[in-house]
Structure 1
Amino acid sequence: LTWERAIDSIKSDLLREDLKNITANTLLQKVVDRESHFARAPIPSQARSTLEKVISSIVSILEYELKKRAEAYYSVLDGFYRFFTVIKDEKEALTYSDINRLLLPYKGLREMEYLLSKCGIRISHLLLDEFQDTSLEQWEVLEETALSCIRDKGKSFFCVGDPKQSLYGWRGSTSKLIENISLMDGIKTTNASTTYRCGKEIVKALNGVFGSLSLNGSMKNYRYAAEAWQKRYVSHTTHNKEPSFVVLKRCPDGIEPNRDLPAVLDVMSRDLHHIIKSNPYLSVGILVRRNKAIPDIMKALTSLNLRASEEGGNPLTDSVAVELILAFLRAVEYPEDRISLYHVSNSPLCDILGISNKGESASLKDAFDSVVSRRGLKGTICFLARKLYPYFGRFERKRLQQFIEMTLAFPFSECRLKPFITFVEAERVDSPSLRGIRVMTIHQAKGLEFDCVFLPELDQPLIRYSAYRVMAVRDDPLMPPSYITAFPTKDICRICPDLREKREKFENEIVEQELSALYVAMSRARFGLYMYTTNKRGITFASVLKGGFEKLSQQENSKDNTELLYVSGNPKWWQKISKKGPDGRKTISLRKPVVEKDMPPKRGWKIISPYLEEGGVESTVGFQLDLRNESSLVRGDALHACFEAVEWIDEHFPSFGEIEERLNSAGDRAINADIIEEFLEILSRPKVKYMLSKSFYLNKGLTPIELYREKKFGVILKSGVPVQGVFDRVVILEDSSGERHIEVLDFKSDNLYGRESLDQRIRYYTPQMELYKEAASLFFGINCENVEGILLFLGTKKVEPEAVYVSNRGFREAFR
């Protein structure tokens, strides 16, 4: 009876041409797998022969469909490549892959040495960092040069990489490359399995998950990937003795009704809010697999007033000031838009434009047309942004500046505002200020570290089949693909063992890289690692974690309606960690606080200035830098940018246009013309004019040799404290005996109110100038006794400029 049903099903499917159903037929599967029995009875040889012919015909049909799909993909990609090549040629542009292709003819040692000699370069020592991400094409270019550095005396080869962090297989990289190099003759390898970043509990979690992958039940379909990972994984240890914490929470499915958010994000954002409320100075990384998940995360954070930096940028509409200008443009473009009209009517724009009838769209249109007739469309939008500048803080001013740059770059082909509004709403711009909470993909987080990491997107399938249209299989991981086709469906793989084997190999390569992504995500955390899942089934990051944590802990319930699948460590870790960074070092910045790339700005961050009294005087960065009101900072930053345009004023006095160009190139387009006029007025004053001329130095018997303006520097002081900052103006001088001297000129835009005010500011800035002088001595390699520091107070229209030489012994006026 079972035989009859199986045969009838095959006949019926053949008549209906239902190939998907027929490939799932159990009898056909037995024949394909060369099994001898079906339904506990032997398969007759005649029946097997007939069924093999049926299978051969089905495979031919499915292979033909696969071939047509592959040809269609190739046609689309070929058309795109040709079109893209034309665009590149028109713009005379190259991609990184073009550079590899152009260098391939020079991959031989002689050819590469010839090419490098044309550039004046000779390679004796080769350092390759992040080598696990090197593509096979890149290695083909470098291989002969690298081998030369390995075997030749007087040369060296140094390679740094972690095969566990190989994420870029889609562009040709493979972890096997670094493993292969480690086996070469003449290569000494060191396995760095001790981390200085991750806390004890995080290392315990990593070892639990990745140290026993081959025994993980969720990996039973991907044994090759699990065994390959297990082979290269060495149990980790750590030098980080700070308290740490790891948790995997199972959250309810569905949407949180009160916040209209997935329950996972609701739980995660509340956990984060609790931690940040207790310790606002922590650095936080929220890592996801897809950019698609980021908007919902940003929404969840914003609902709890948690400001975050979205890597890759946010639209400018996250700015109140920019949204106000867009509302004005919408009200002009669409007079019936009452919401935008109300928004503008209750804003400073009406006062700026002198609109008396605030509730009438016609008044807005008339005011807009009036400004456009004088300034043009771009000029009008930039004018509105500049006028709003004084009403907002630093974040909003930065956004306005970016908005102006976007406006100037936008190709207005007509007077319609809709295309511009749509463009601004959609275009992503990097966040203007670094925040403690950063949301990004796992790939973007590579190389970074955070005090705590949140992983809310663990329920996505380990293999996202929708992302793969083409399958490329390599017989040797270090060789080009030997087989490329459209990604085969499960239907054809069921009855085509050869294709099934290729697909399994391809899937294992994908899983191997996905496991690397999970490792990267977990190992970004210093102290806290928070992971979230739901009840979704399937092979996911969450299932891998659950399988790894099974033997480490038991499940328990928490207070927020979630189930703790794994929890280990001190849940109040943020109260126990020390306030210093992992290296325990303090850093001084002379103009802005030096903040690590992945750390939040800390307004009260303590620094040590060792120059005031023995043992140092402790102060906050806010005091050291004299953080005044926003308008003062805007004026000061603009004036510094203007001074960068001045070389020797007795040789050339800059024009209004030159100063304006300098401001634009410095990114200060939001500064209005009043600043430039003020600067030119300051520049015309005799004292300032004299200080910026060669005559000032020649009259003292010193000859200017070199001049630096807005010169960045970084040194380690004799006390061992690292310092970085910017010199406003540095002049290298030479006396009659040929000895070198330095004068460091620092511009100050403080408002002075008489002699007492001047004396107070001089005393205030003296420690900073002493730091500048020592830094200049070390940076330029000139005796500290030959370094002088000058504070040039620019004054105002009512107060004359003042210039003084400053030292710990006191000060003297520069004009006496």
Structure 2
Amino acid sequence: MRKVLKASAGTGKTYRLSLEYLAAILSGYDFEEIVVMTFTRKATAEIRERIFQHIEEILQDGEESQVLESLRGIYPGLACDLAMLESVYQQMLINKDKIKIFTIDSFINSIFKKAIAPYLDIYAYEIIDENSNMEIIEEVFKRMLDNPADFSLLEKFLQDNTERFIDSYLALIEEMLNNRWKFLLIDYRKREELRVEGLAWKLDECLNILESIAAGKGVELSEGFYKRAFQSFIREYGNMESVQEKEERIIRNYQLFFKDNFWNSSKIRGKDYEDLRDALERQYEEFLINLAACIYNQEIIPYEEEIFKFSDRIFQLYDSIKFREKKFTHMDISNYTYKYFFEPELALLDGGTVSEYFFELIGGRVRALFIDEFQDTSILQWKILKPLLDRCEKVITVGDEKQSIYGWRGGEKELFARLERILAGEEETLKICYRSEREIVEFINRFFADINEDWDYSPVEHLARKDQGYLEFLFGGERTKRNTETKSFEKLSKEKQEEIIQLNERITADIKGEIARRIKSFPTYNNIAVLARSNQELADIAVELDREGIPYLLESKDSLLEHEAVKPLYFLLSFLHYHDFLDLLKFLRSDLVGINNKCLRYIIENRDMVEGYFLGREIEFKFPGLQGLFQQIKAMEEMNFRELSNYIIESSGLLERYKGNRAALRNIHYFFQLMRGFNSLDEFMDFLRENQDSDELKQLSVTGDNVVQLMTIHKAKGLSFETEFFYWNISPRGGNWSNNLELYIEFDEEYGEVVDYLLTNSRYEKLFGYLGIDFAEKKAGRELIEEINNLYVALTRPEKNLFIYIEGPRQLDPDEEGRCWRGSSYEFYEDALLRGARVESLCDLIEQKSSGYLSISEGEREEEFVALNDLSPYFEPARVDEELIQENRSKKDYRMNLEREIKRIEGLALHYYLEFVRYNQEEERRYAEQMVLARYGNILGPGRTRELITRVNLFLQERQEYFAGDWLVFNEYELEWNGELYRIDHLRVNKEKKEILILDYKSGITREQAQLDRYKEIIEEMTGGEYEIRTEFVEI
């Protein structure tokens, strides 16, 4: 059986897939013979949990089970043997490791690990993410930089692109690697040249026709007959004698001809010249076809050959590093798996499908295969899975081409759209949305109906009980206002001017700020999300939330070292430590220094001088300002680590630069805090290198319990929120003479073979129409569809309330019918908006327009804990000399044996963790974990450190009474009394009940009761006996 399930957003695809799994078990399939593949680990966990819940419900309710009723709605007459199901359930509980629910990445990794890696003599390897992989990409660049022949090859592809010099090189290498799957699938063939007729003769024919028109009008053919852009060319061209010289001139200026025709249309008007005008246009078309063919032969074909040559070198360098380091991304693993999957020596295939040996490798035969989120499956993954799929008796795929938003990493929407035909299976559409309320579902139906002829949409129904919902629209932005300081405005009537001024006054210019102000009006921030297309847009909105004092979560999985505020410091420290020339370039090119391209080129061209200067040679640099800059950097090399850290904090200007950005300041502070924990630059850089992929070097977020979540559309996919604010920044689309690498590839109907390809540069796209090439046109169509897909994903996340705040792309100037974007590339969005919001004109949305009823779950804002002024002075930490603290920290008792030393450090780590826990909130625990891993992970090792964290979290869970919210908390407080210093692990004060609790944490090291008694005596004296004081040892 082959079945393709089309599941729109919120229509219960996870529920349905888990039902299909259960139906397979009830039909006699062994659970070990069923494989489920999902796109994310989160989806894997959800399906696994749902399957167990379904089985448990059937076993509990029997024939009355709602799950069983749903199953029989899909498969009428499905028998249910409860005894058999109970037996299977017990086996699944005992053998959870044999339940085959994977992400597609993990499944392909299992093939690589068990078959491909041993074939390549790899027996242990590490899986890394794309951020970590940038180091390997940089290593490829370094090797090319050191090899003049390689660097010359690299520069060929960037000769016209100098805006971000280093970034452009790295981006080009990364682009090649991201598209390696295309090179694996392409069957290289040498291209034949096209036939070209004489270019000069073709152009001369056009000029002769133009001259005939001038003669007919009784005037000379003057420069006025040519457009201004062509006048200089025509003047020089007319003075040339030889055909070769003329054709060379044409080819050098070929882009000019593809931008426009060369004649001034106003000079050749008239009915008498209609035939000549038609002849001119036909002849010019012939000229352009031949010119395009000439450029194809002279530039496009050689350029493609260079791409193949360049890619071979990139892959060669990359593979040598990969196989040495044995660090692979999931993309690497897919590439290498496909490359060797069909090797006869591996015996993974038998007659085009997977072999019995393949089944042995993956742990058993597969009879049923279920694939979730199929629209995100890449072509390479499909080609690896297809031989397995062809061996399965039952195949069910679930997906939604409308949610295909990963085309940039190989996801192919059309593959899923054609899957029913490819599999020769049946198609079923899920039609009820279980997520959203009626107002939202009906808006989605209106908005996306007929939005684009190539974007299919079928309306969905809302769940009967979800009959509410709320919509709110606001359209505005600075770009939508009319400029009232132009001559064209002055020429308007007073009435029209006044109308425009009033319209401008009604428009909300600051849409991002308005989002923050609207959120401020909510009684609680729980389950509110703000979605936007880019991280930069979210960062801007975060600044506005900061201004309003609204807590938010802008979570990042990126490395701390990749944060925009920290990255320049890391580059600087890397250069000071390793003296790597590339690190110096990256620091100088960063936003913190920001040298221009001319300066950068000077440094690269004088690399020997620069490296010599930092090795101690006396060198004078002629480029303005460079000498002083290098002197500053060199002075930092002479500083000790403490001086260096102080100098960077005081002189970098980072704190001032990011003073309004809480998230950036938090990450800067965290980086300096980490830095202060080490005694030398060597130790600190070793720590950063060894822990670059660990959690303690992940970026920190501004977080809390009652916060607004900020997410990109891509990160929000698969999630839902009670209330969503969508910041929609509509910007114009359009082509230009850009200069980007383009790797076009086209498949047959079943995605079995590559039928055509072109590796080229986007600057040649305007020639494609004259060459009969439609790659660029198809790519533009796919990009438009994916843009609509992104919009669909964004608008289908909310459950109850949807706020759409729109940044307009241009001046709001309605025509007679009230349309503002007629004739623009985003005109179809206007139709969709008017239809969705049920208004006549966009002008109706410049003030908030709403429908439905706003429904917000109950909750309270998080309030600041008010300090108790009369008690706080008693518990302020004593001021202790910093040098004394550093001296005490550095003392080590070398007489301790290893076991005692480890236990001592473990105790310190536990205490350090608890320093950050006041009320046992999740954010406190998360931050504490990061800090402990940062300080002790390198000493105790990640494994032992995480065991300690688990241990202390278990204690916190069991003893929650110690962390009630109505106590004022003091952790690790130092008190000076009668000249002696005391440190109390945890002190809690309840002013209302007049109680003080002193806790002393025990982690296996014996402590004297006298110590706690002494603490109690001191506190009693300090507070004058007003409080009941209790003490307690707490075992962790």
**Superposition TM-score tier, normalisation by shorter sequence:** 0.5 to 0.7
Q: 1:814 to 1:203 in 2, by over 3 A?
A: closer
Letter in 2 for 1:563: I
**Structure 1 equivalent of residue 741 of structure 2:** 469
Matched with 1:727 is 954
* Alpha-carbon distance in 1 for matches of 2:647, 2:513: 41
Q: Residues of 1 paired with 2:330 and 2:336: CA distance?
A: 10
Please tell me the residue identity of whatever aligns with 1:138.
Answer: Q
1:163 paired residue among 391, 401, 410: 401
- The code of the aligned residue for 1:461 comes to R
Alpha-carbon distance, 1:272 to partner: 3.1
- Where does 1:367-382 land on structure 2 (aligned, <5 Å)? none
Q: Does 1:143 align with 2:386?
A: yes
CA deviations on 1:574-601 (whole Å, 9 max, x unpaired) are 4x34439xxxxxxxxxxxxxxxxxxxx9
Gaps of 5+ in 2: 1-205, 214-224, 238-248, 264-270, 343-347, 484-506, 574-635, 650-661, 811-820, 864-873, 878-898, 914-927, 940-946, 963-984, 998-1005, 1016-1032
Question: Counterpart of 1:203?
Answer: 441
1:492 and 2:767 correspond: yes
Contact 2:744–2:758, Cα closer than 8 Å, also in 1: yes
Find the partner of 1:305 among 549, 553, 560: 549
Q: How does 1:45-444 map to 2 (within 5 A)?
A: 54-64=287-297, 65-71=299-305, 77-104=311-338, 105-106=340-341, 108=348, 113-115=356-358, 117-118=360-361, 120=363, 122-149=365-392, 151=393, 156-183=394-421, 189-213=427-451, 226-230=452-456, 233-238=458-463, 240-253=466-479, 266-312=510-556, 403-405=672-674, 412=681, 429-431=699-701, 433=703, 436-444=707-715
- Structure 1 residue aligned with 2:834: 550
Q: CA deviation at 1:402?
A: 6.0
Give SS of 1:548's match.
Answer: helix
User: Is 1:569 paired with 2:843?
Assistant: no
The Cα of 1:135 is off from its aligned counterpart by 0.6
* Gap change, CA 1:292 and 1:549, over 3 Å in 2: closer
Superposition deviation, residue 131 in structure 1: 1.7
Cα deviations by residue, 1:478-503 (Å, 9 ceiling, x for unpaired): 2455212323545313533x12x332
Aligned partners of 1:2 and 1:39 also within 8 Å: no
SS at match of 1:84: helix
Following the alignment from structure 1 to structure 2, what is the Cα–Cα distance between the partners of residues 122 and 472? 38
Count of equivalent residues: 561
Question: How far off is 1:793 after superposition?
Answer: 13
Equivalent positions of 1:442-457 (< 5 A) are 442-450=713-721, 451-457=723-729
The one-letter amino acid paired with 1:550 is: L
Q: CA deviation at 1:168?
A: 1.7
Distance 2:839 2:371 in 1: 44
TM-aligned CA distance change 1:539 to 1:163, over 3 Å? farther
Q: How does 1:356-755 map to 2 (within 5 A)?
A: 403-405=672-674, 412=681, 429-431=699-701, 433=703, 436-450=707-721, 451-461=723-733, 469-476=741-748, 478-479=751-752, 481=754, 482-486=756-760, 487=762, 489=764, 491-496=766-771, 498-499=772-773, 501-526=774-799, 527-536=801-810, 543-551=827-835, 553-555=838-840, 563=846, 567-570=849-852, 573-574=853-854, 576-579=855-858, 603=862, 655-659=903-907, 666-669=929-932, 727-728=954-955
The structure-2 alpha-carbon separation of the partners of 1:436 and 1:463, relative to structure 1 and needing over 3 Å to count, comes to farther
One-letter code aligned to 2:904: F
| % same residue | 18
* Native 8 Å contact 1:288 1:441 kept in 2: yes
CA positional deviation for 1:532: 0.9
**CA-CA distance at 1:241 after TM superposition:** 3.0
Is there any run of 5+ residues in structure 1 with no aligned partner, and where? 29-36, 214-225, 258-262, 330-368, 383-392, 581-600, 605-628, 633-650, 677-707, 713-724, 731-743, 762-791, 802-812
Provide the rounded CA distance (Å) in 1 between the counterparts of 2:433 and 2:737: 35
**Using the alignment, how far apart are the partners of 1:72 and 1:305 within structure 2?**
55
- In structure 2, relative to structure 1, the CA distance for the partners of 1:752 and 1:179 (3 Å cut) is closer
Distance 1:253 1:241, change over 3 A: same
Matched-pair contact (CA < 8 Å) for 1:281–1:436 = yes
Deviation at residue 167 of structure 1 after TM alignment: 1.2
Instruction: State the shift of 1:253 in Å.
Output: 1.6
Answer yes or no: is the 8 Å Cα contact 1:287–1:440 preserved in 2.
yes
Give, in angstroms, the shift of residue 180 of structure 1. Answer: 3.5
* Alpha-carbon separation, structure 1, partners of 2:739 and 2:851: 37
3-state DSSP of counterpart to 1:54: helix
Q: Write the distance in 2 (CA, Å) between the matches of 1:86 and 1:443.
A: 33
Structure 1 length as normaliser, TM-score?
0.54
2:469 alignment partner, SS class: coil
Distance in structure 1 (CA, Å) of the matches to 2:732 and 2:208: 40
Tell me: CA distance 1:519–1:414, structure 2 relative to 1, closer, same or farther (3 Å): same
Partner of 1:798: 1012
**CA, structure 1 residues 186+275, in 2 after alignment: closer, same or farther (shift >3 Å)?**
same
* Aligned equivalents of 1:502, 1:315: Cα separation in 2: 37
- Give the CA RMSD over aligned residues: 6.3
Given that residues 202 and 529 in structure 1 are in contact (C-alpha distance below 8 angstroms), is that contact kept between their aligned partners in structure 2?
A: no
The answer to whether the 8 Å contact 1:473/1:506 transfers is no
User: For 1:302 and 1:814, how far apart are their aligned partners in 2?
Assistant: 39
Paired with 2:384 and 2:834, the residues of 1 have a C-alpha distance of: 46
1:431 maps to amino acid: S
Give the equivalent residue in structure 1 for 2:121: none
Q: TM-score if structure 2 supplies the norm length?
A: 0.44
Shift of 1:75: 5.4
**How many angstroms apart in 2 are the aligned matches of 1:52 and 1:541?**
26
- Structure 1 residues 197 and 98: alpha-carbon distance in aligned structure 2, compared to 1, 3 A threshold: same
**In 1, Cα distance between equivalents of 2:439 and 2:548:** 29
Q: 1:306 to 1:128 in 2, by over 3 A?
A: same
Shift of 1:249: 0.8
In the TM superposition, what whole-angstrom CA distance separates every residue of 1:766-791 from its partner, at most 9, and x where no partner exists? xxxxxxxxxxxxxxxxxxxxxxxxxx
* Alpha-carbon shift at residue 210 of structure 1 (Å): 1.8
Q: Which amino acid aligns with 1:270?
A: E
Q: Which residue of 1 aligns with 2:178?
A: none
Q: Judging changes above 3 Å, is the alpha-carbon distance between structure 1 residues 61 and 170 closer, same or farther for their aligned structure 2 residues?
A: same
For 2:875 and 2:396, locate their aligned partners in 1 and report how far apart those are by CA, in whole Å.
49
Partner of 1:767: none
CA shift in 2, pair 1:396/1:291, >3 Å:
closer
- One-letter code of the match for 2:294? I
Residue deviations 1:24-54, cap 9 Å, x none? 56699xxxxxxxx99753999x989966763
Give yes or no for contact 1:264–1:533 (8 Å, CA) kept in 2.
no
* Aligned CA distance change for structure 1 residues 40 and 602 (closer, same or farther; 3 Å): same
1:438 deviates by: 3.3
Pick closer, same or farther for the CA change 1:380–1:293 going to 2, 3 Å. closer
Choose between structure 1 and 2: higher helix proportion.
2
3-state SS in 1 of match to 2:802? strand
- Alpha-carbon distance in 1 for matches of 2:207, 2:378: 53
